[in-house]
Amino acid sequence: MTAKDPQAAGLASLASLIADETRATCLLALLDGRAWTAGELARRAGVAASTLSEHLGKLVAGGLLAEERQGRHRYVRLADARVAQLVEDLAAQVPPAARRTPHSLRESSAGSAMARGRTCYDHLAGRLGIAVTDALTRRGLLRQDTGFALTDAGVEWFGTAGIPLDPSTRRPLARACLDWTERRPHLAGAAGAALCRHALDAGWCVRIGSERAVRVTPSGERELSALLGIASEALR
């Protein structure tokens, strides 16, 4: 009798947690990096609050979500960046033919906005994320030939741009994250998170709607053009 791989049961259990449309909807929504209430997620998933609560319990028990309570409200968020990477990587593997076709102008507009620019947990994605990643690479600030890595000039650029990098973090400084709309890698890791955080805090980008979509502001266009030479048309 062949011995079973000891990791097989754990992998199957993890896969079963994600292999449910309601739970998958929650995980994708939480890729915006914020904490959501159970009621907000129930409305997003289109299910009753009691049903959603059962799903959240499974995701929390499985280590994919973390929860906290404030008064009567229960908030949940992705457990950590590794979970976000797992969800985004799996989403990127979904073939285009299997993606849901928008059934309304509102859905179509939201989808276009997400493809144009969005947050992927804590870093920039979509055409915006790709434009920034390509600009960093063209200027010799980021290497992609042997995996993603900031060059010495890249580390210096972050400091000059006023975007601090945390030297104590255990996360990789730069990591490739496959973009599910562009089918190309964008910058993730500690550097990607720092850049995204600065873009939002400095008003280079603003969140739009209830999705993860972001829009580059006029000041953001000027700053990204000055710092990275990105044409305004590529940011719209």
The DSSP result for the chain, as a single string, is: -PPPPTTHHHHHHHHHHHSSHHHHHHHHHGGGSS-EEHHHHHHHHTS-HHHHHHHHHHHHHTTSEEEEEETTEEEEEES-HHHHHHHHHHHHTS-GGGSPPP-SHHHHHHHHHHHHSEEETTEEEHHHHHHHHHHHHHTTSEE-BTB-EE-HHHHHHHHHTT----TT--S-SSEEEE-TTTSSEEEEHHHHHHHHHHHHHTTSEEE-TTSSBEEE-HHHHHHHHHHH---GGGG-
Within a domain: 8: no
The pLDDT tens digits of the residues spanning 33-57 come to 889 999 999 999 999 999 999 999 9
Nearest CA to 224 among 130, 144, 145, 147? 130
Within a domain: 119: yes
In this prediction, residue 16 carries a pLDDT of: 93
Report the alpha-carbon distance of residue 185 to residue 40 in Å, rounded.
30
- One domain, residues 70 and 108: no
- One domain, residues 220 and 180: yes
Q: Which of 42, 64, 79 is the last residue of a domain?
A: 79
- One domain, residues 124 and 218: yes
- One domain, residues 75 and 110: no
Nearest CA to 220 among 211, 230, 209, 210? 230
More confident residue, 212 or 161: 161
Predicted TM-score (pTM) of the model is: 0.77
- One domain, residues 139 and 178: yes
- One domain, residues 74 and 110: no
- One domain, residues 74 and 113: no
Within a domain: 97: no
- One domain, residues 152 and 186: yes
Instruction: Count the domains in the chain.
Output: 2
- One domain, residues 226 and 112: yes
Within a domain: 89: no
Within a domain: 87: no
For residue 1, pLDDT over 60 is answered with: no
Within a domain: 22: yes
In the chain, % of residues over pLDDT 70:
92
- One domain, residues 70 and 144: no
Q: What is the CATH number of the domain that holds 64?
A: 1.10.10.10
- Domain carrying residue 150: 104-235
- One domain, residues 112 and 71: no
**Contact at 8 Å (CB) between 37 and 75?**
yes
The pLDDT tens digits of the residues spanning 178-213 come to 888 888 999 999 999 999 999 999 999 999 876 689
- One domain, residues 129 and 231: yes
Within a domain: 55: yes
Within a domain: 84: no
**Residues ≥6 apart with Cβ < 8 Å to 216:** 117, 128, 204, 205, 224, 235, 236
For residue 144, pLDDT over 70 is answered with: yes
